[in-house]
């Protein structure tokens, strides 16, 4: 097992593998993977992708290390999301300005809702109500036509030039450009850790 649990994306994959593939991995590899997952749960880094991945790890090992798992989940939900993020959602624009953080946030909400039966949008209903139309509006003005194709540059928070890599992937998502999409790491959501069904109304 060469995956690095210190990397948020790799830890996420490790949690999915442990959750789904224990029978195929065997007892020895599963135990080693569980130890690596548990070892990440004492740190309280507050980056969105890290919290998402460690929450998935905590849920995956909840049966074998319930105390460590519960301690991390309590911090992630009560000590971080409700105490620090929800107040910011009420007052600050662009809390999850980068799409990678936005997607990690949505996955975090899904795994918590589906495993702990807690809707973390409560207290920030207006922000989530505005999220979808704001994402749609972020793709205006109209595309810029170039000789080779049209470019769509999403709106972004901050100063300076736009992120052309994000623009390229936005175009790939719209046109179905498989080569471009293969350059970005896939982000499937585990049906066990997170059923990607619609949220109930948060208001």
The pLDDT value given to residue 191:
39
Higher pLDDT, 56 or 176: 56
Kindly report, residue by residue over 56-67, the tens digit of the pLDDT: 999 999 999 999
Nearest to 40 by CA among 67, 69, 80, 18: 69
Rounded average pLDDT over 148-156: 70
4 is written with which tokens? 């690095």
Q: Cβ(80)–Cβ(112) under 8 Å?
A: no
Distance CA(32)–CA(8), nearest Å, equals 18
Residue 45 vs residue 190, higher pLDDT: 45
What pLDDT is stored for residue 196 in this prediction? 37
Per-residue model confidence as pLDDT tens digits over 19-37: 999 888 888 999 999 999 9
Flag whether pLDDT at 84 surpasses 60.
yes
Dihedral angle computed from the Cα positions of residues 187, 118, 34 and 10, in that order, rounded to the nearest 10 degrees: 20
* pTM for the predicted model, two decimal places: 0.74
Mean pLDDT of the chain: 81
Q: Residue 23's pLDDT is what?
A: 81
pLDDT of residue 156: 67
| Upstream peptide bond of 141 is cis (omega within 30 degrees of 0) | yes
Question: In angstroms, what CA-CA distances link 37 with 70, 145, 184?
Answer: 14, 47, 24
């Amino acid at each position: 097992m060469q995956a690095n649990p210190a990397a948020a994306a790799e830890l996420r994959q490790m949690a999915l593998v442990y959750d789904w593939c224990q029978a195929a991995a065997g007892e020895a590899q599963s135990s080693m993977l569980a130890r690596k997952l548990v070892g990440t749960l004492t740190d309280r880094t507050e980056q969105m992708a890290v919290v998402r991945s460690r929450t998935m790890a905590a849920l995956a090992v909840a049966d074998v290390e319930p105390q460590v798992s519960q301690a991390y989940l309590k911090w992630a939900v009560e000590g971080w999301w409700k105490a620090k993020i929800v107040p910011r959602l009420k007052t600050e624009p662009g809390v999850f300005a980068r799409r990678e953080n936005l997607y990690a946030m949505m996955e975090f909400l899904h795994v918590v809702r589906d495993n702990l039966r807690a809707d973390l949008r409560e207290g920030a209903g207006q922000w989530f109500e505005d999220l979808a139309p704001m994402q749609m509006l972020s793709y205006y003005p109209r595309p810029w036509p170039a000789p080779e194709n049209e470019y769509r540059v999403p709106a972004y928070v901050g100063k300076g030039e736009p992120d052309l890599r994000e623009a390229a992937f936005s175009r790939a998502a719209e046109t179905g450009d498989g080569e471009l999409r293969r350059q970005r790491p896939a982000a499937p959501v585990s049906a066990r850790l997170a059923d990607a069904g619609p949220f109930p109304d948060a208001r």
